[in-house]
């Protein structure tokens, strides 16, 4: 240690980096974390998970109150108004409390925050904020940024990325969302609820790529019912901004007649790409793959001994909880323990209404691997969903035909994001559908739909 400044230097203080730094410090390693943002917490806390969920939550309240959704329960409102500045202020308060919280955790655990942009000088030395820092282990956790769309300039005013879409100063009359993925649907939902007309342009013939086929179809149906206009198999060929308005040129993905639609906000949400610009990876002897990601092995080690990488900058789903788990595991590996992440059991949640959640294999993926059994249960037959007058969606469980082991669980429901945790635990412990079916679930709860879907795998649900 004598000639090293730190045992561990983490680059990036997002959910991957800050968690890795805290765990490394907890394990007795002298740790620093370089972060160029003004606040800790990365994309997730500053311009991702947290502010988006704050707006999703608040906009749902507004829609319920304003749209008359509670009238059926005998609750009516009059004179409901929207104070968007206040909604943004409350969101910023939540973000501020959480980012400050990470600062507190760094202090508590004695993680030194090196403020500034880090770049490699050699395989064990990094320059950050005008300081040269030598570390025995370096963890790259630099995250990701929005993928630009050729021919479309993001000005964060009229043509926005998710960051701009989280801070629009007024509700657009018409928002065009380019990309029917997670960001497009979550933030499209926010502005739709607050009063905008929203048109989603998706290149593929279905929204939410990567999700179970049946879930994608059901989600598309429900979003259309809510009034989101879906233009599938459609591509954007250009956006021209003039006088605060955008003219968006679209045409069929397979080619054909072009059409121009006018909008006063355009959200570009066609995916995210790893952040490695300015890191001078070559100084450390590192390269990126064709997708711009840093390749790692099962232990999160790169090809250069002493350099590790986690989170959005490495292959795998770009999710905060995946980054966090990798943060814990990489620190444990650096400390000589055995840090493992089971990448087969990473839940994913889209926080729309209803929520869409999944863990494990889709039906399409599972079928490719062998014989399966599928059990489904609709929330229309779940007593609690009925009570709440909130019956959209279903639970789908996919199990191996021979062993009955659960391979995948997919849920559309207002509470899907919470319910999926049960499925993840079951899969982590290698449960069969029978294990779930014979586990007592409290009544009346939405969770009973998981039990019934498991019973349906055996062909014997009770309430259907
Ligand atoms: P990041 O959070 O991106 O953090 C990387 C940090 O590194 C950044 O703060 C950056 O400033 C810093 N950095 C980069 N380069 C350098 C450098 N050279 N020197 C110093 N610092 C550097 N995921 C979920 O699981 N749930 C959600 O609900 C969710 N919602 C999202 C909503 C939106 C709008 C967006 C955009 C993303 C959302 N995500 C969500 C994805 C989630 O934010 C990412 O998967 C997660 O933040 C990745 O964590 P990370 O630590 O790898 O990187
Ligand atoms: P995404 O990959 O989820 O969706 C992008 C969509 O854009 C896809 O459907 C794709 O087919 C489409 N597309 C690509 N190019 C296009 C084009 N030229 N024209 C029209 N459509 C096009 O990416 P998104 O929504 O930008 O989100 C990025 C990542 O952020 C996600 O992969 C996810 O990991 C993470 N995220 C997670 C959230 C969560 O967990 N709730 C919330 C928000 C983001």
pLDDT digits (tens, 9 = 90+) for 283-326: 999 999 999 999 999 999 999 999 999 999 999 999 999 999 99
Residues 6+ positions from 159 with CB-CB distance below 8 Å: 152, 153, 239, 241, 246, 266, 268
Ligand 1 centroid from CA 425, angstroms:
25
pLDDT digits (tens, 9 = 90+) for 319-336: 999 999 999 999 999 999
Residue 256 confidence (pLDDT): 95
In DSSP terms, which residues pair with 452 in a beta bridge?
none
Residue 133 confidence (pLDDT): 98
Is residue 76 within 8 Å of residue 70, measured between CB atoms? yes
Q: Is the CB of 355 under 6 A from ligand 1?
A: no
Ligand 1 centroid from CA 143, angstroms:
5
Q: Is the CB of 339 under 6 A from ligand 1?
A: no
Dihedral sign, Cα of residue 8, residue 13, residue 14, residue 18: positive
Ligand 2 centroid from CA 202, angstroms:
10
For residue 320, the ligand closest to its alpha carbon is 1
For residue 45, the ligand closest to its alpha carbon is 1
Is residue 294 within 8 Å of residue 302, measured between CB atoms? yes
In DSSP terms, which residues pair with 417 in a beta bridge?
none
Instruction: Specify the residue with its C-alpha closest to ligand 1, atom 47.
Output: 44
* 400 — pLDDT class (breaks 50, 70, 90): very high
Cα–Cα dist 109/23, whole Å: 9
Cα–Cα dist 66/171, whole Å: 15
* Choice from 160, 179, 250 to test ligand 2 binding pocket (greatest atom count within 8 A of CB): 179
CA angle 75, 76, 77 (to 5 degrees): 130
Q: Is the CB of 212 under 6 A from ligand 2?
A: no
Q: Which ligand 1 atom is at minimum distance from the Cα of 119?
A: 18
Looking at the chain, how many residues does it have? 464
Averaged pLDDT, 50-72:
97
Residue 382 confidence (pLDDT): 98
Residue 15 confidence (pLDDT): 98
Q: Is the CB of 55 under 6 A from ligand 2?
A: no
Ligand 2 centroid from CA 63, angstroms:
25
For residue 277, the ligand closest to its alpha carbon is 1
Residue 261 confidence (pLDDT): 97
Burial code (b: 16+ CB inside 10 Å, e: under 16) for 415-436 equals bbbebbebbbebbeeebbbbeb
Is it the case that residue 2 has pLDDT exceeding 70? no
Burial code (b: 16+ CB inside 10 Å, e: under 16) for 270-281 equals bebbbbbeebbb
Between β-strands 406-413 and 394-400, what pairing exists: parallel, antiparallel or unpaired?
Answer: antiparallel
Please give the domain boundaries of the chain with CATH numbers for all domains.
6-146+273-334 (3.50.50.60), 159-270 (3.50.50.60), 348-457 (3.30.390.30)
Q: Which ligand 2 atom is at minimum distance from the Cα of 49?
A: 42
Cα–Cα dist 382/147, whole Å: 41
Q: Is the CB of 351 under 6 A from ligand 2?
A: yes
Cα–Cα dist 301/291, whole Å: 18
Is it the case that residue 1 has pLDDT exceeding 70? no
Using DSSP, state whether 371 is helix, strand or coil.
coil
Is it the case that residue 189 has pLDDT exceeding 80? yes
Tokens of 16: 């991957």
* 373 — pLDDT class (breaks 50, 70, 90): very high
* 142 — pLDDT class (breaks 50, 70, 90): very high
Nearest CA to 314 out of 326, 329, 305 is that of 326
Is it the case that residue 214 has pLDDT exceeding 80? yes
Instruction: Specify the residue with its C-alpha closest to ligand 1, atom 46.
Output: 320
* Choice from 45, 181, 190, 201 to test ligand 2 binding pocket (greatest atom count within 8 A of CB): 181
Using DSSP, state whether 42 is helix, strand or coil.
helix
Q: Is the CB of 409 under 6 A from ligand 2?
A: no
Tokens of 105: 């955790």
Is it the case that residue 241 has pLDDT exceeding 70? yes
Ligand 1 centroid from CA 15, angstroms:
7
For residue 128, the ligand closest to its alpha carbon is 1
* Choice from 271, 346, 354 to test ligand 2 binding pocket (greatest atom count within 8 A of CB): 271
Q: Which ligand 1 atom is at minimum distance from the Cα of 144?
A: 3
Averaged pLDDT, 357-385:
98
For residue 164, the ligand closest to its alpha carbon is 1
Cα–Cα dist 391/109, whole Å: 46
In the predicted model, what is the mean pLDDT of the chain? 97
Is residue 207 within 8 Å of residue 219, measured between CB atoms? yes
Q: Which ligand 2 atom is at minimum distance from the Cα of 182?
A: 25
Is residue 220 within 8 Å of residue 233, measured between CB atoms? no
DSSP 444: T
Ligand 1 centroid from CA 59, angstroms:
23
Is residue 143 within 8 Å of residue 16, measured between CB atoms? yes
Cα–Cα dist 114/276, whole Å: 18
Ligand 1 centroid from CA 179, angstroms:
19
Residue 49, CA atoms < 13 Å, CB-side half-sphere: 16
Q: Is the CB of 319 under 6 A from ligand 1?
A: yes
Give the other-Cβ count within 10 Å of 287's Cβ: 12
What residues act catalytically?
443
Is it the case that residue 216 has pLDDT exceeding 60? yes
Residue 227, CA atoms < 13 Å, CB-side half-sphere: 14
Tokens of 259: 């059409």
Cα–Cα dist 403/89, whole Å: 52
Q: Which ligand 2 atom is at minimum distance from the Cα of 181?
A: 4
Give the other-Cβ count within 10 Å of 214's Cβ: 17
Distance of alpha carbon 99 from the chain centroid = 18
Q: Is the CB of 19 under 6 A from ligand 1?
A: no
Give yes or no for a cis peptide into 317 (omega within 30° of 0): no
Between β-strands 131-140 and 307-309, what pairing exists: parallel, antiparallel or unpaired?
Answer: parallel
Ligand 1 centroid from CA 41, angstroms:
8
């Amino acid at each position: 240690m004598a000639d090293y400044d730190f045992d561990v230097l983490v680059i990036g203080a997002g959910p991957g980096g800050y968690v890795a730094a805290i765990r490394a410090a907890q394990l007795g390693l002298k740790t620093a974390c370089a972060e160029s943002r003004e606040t800790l917490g990365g994309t997730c806390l500053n311009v991702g998970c947290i502010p988006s969920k704050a707006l999703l939550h608040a906009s749902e309240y507004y829609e319920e109150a304003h749209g008359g959704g509670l009238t059926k329960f005998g609750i009516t409102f009059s004179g409901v108004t929207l104070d968007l500045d206040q909604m943004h202020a409350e969101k910023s308060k939540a973000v501020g409390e959480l980012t400050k919280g990470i600062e507190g955790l760094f202090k508590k655990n004695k993680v030194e925050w090196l403020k500034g942009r880090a770049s490699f000088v050699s395989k064990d030395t990094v320059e950050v904020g005008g300081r040269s820092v030598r570390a025995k282990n370096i963890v790259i956790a630099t995250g990701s940024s929005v993928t630009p769309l050729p021919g479309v300039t993001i000005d964060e005013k009229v043509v926005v990325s998710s960051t701009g879409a989280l801070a629009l100063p007024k509700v657009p009359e018409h928002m065009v969302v380019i990309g029917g993925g997670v960001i497009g649907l979550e933030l499209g939902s926010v502005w739709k609820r607050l009063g905008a007309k929203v048109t989603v342009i998706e290149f593929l013939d279905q929204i939410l790529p990567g999700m179970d086929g049946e879930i994608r179809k059901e989600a598309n149906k429900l979003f259309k019912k809510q009034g989101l206009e879906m233009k599938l198999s459609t591509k954007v060929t250009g956006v021209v901004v003039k006088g605060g308005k955008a003219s968006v040129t679209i045409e069929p993905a397979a080619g054909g007649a072009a059409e121009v639609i006018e909008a006063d906000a355009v959200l570009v949400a066609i995916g995210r790409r790893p952040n490695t610009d300015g890191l001078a990876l070559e100084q450390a002897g590192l390269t990126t793959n064709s997708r711009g990601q840093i390749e790692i092995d099962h232990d999160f080690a790169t090809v250069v001994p002493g350099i590790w990488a986690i989170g959005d900058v490495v292959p795998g789903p770009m999710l905060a909880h995946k980054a966090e788990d990798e943060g814990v595991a990489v620190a444990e590996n650096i400390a000589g323990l055995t840090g493992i992440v089971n990448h087969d059991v990473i839940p994913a949640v889209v926080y729309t209404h209803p929520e869409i959640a999944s863990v494990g294999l889709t039906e399409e993926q599972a079928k490719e691997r062998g014989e399966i059994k599928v059990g489904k249960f609709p929330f229309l037959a779940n007593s609690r969903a009925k009570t709440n007058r909130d019956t959209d969606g279903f639970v789908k469980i996919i199990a191996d035909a021979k062993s009955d082991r659960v391979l995948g669980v997919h849920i559309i429901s207002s509470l899907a994001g919470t319910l999926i945790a049960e499925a993840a635990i079951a899969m982590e412990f290698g449960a069969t559908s029978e294990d779930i079916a014979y586990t007592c679930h409290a009544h009346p709860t939405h969770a009973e739909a998981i039990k019934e879907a498991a019973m349906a795998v055996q062909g014997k649900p009770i309430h259907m």
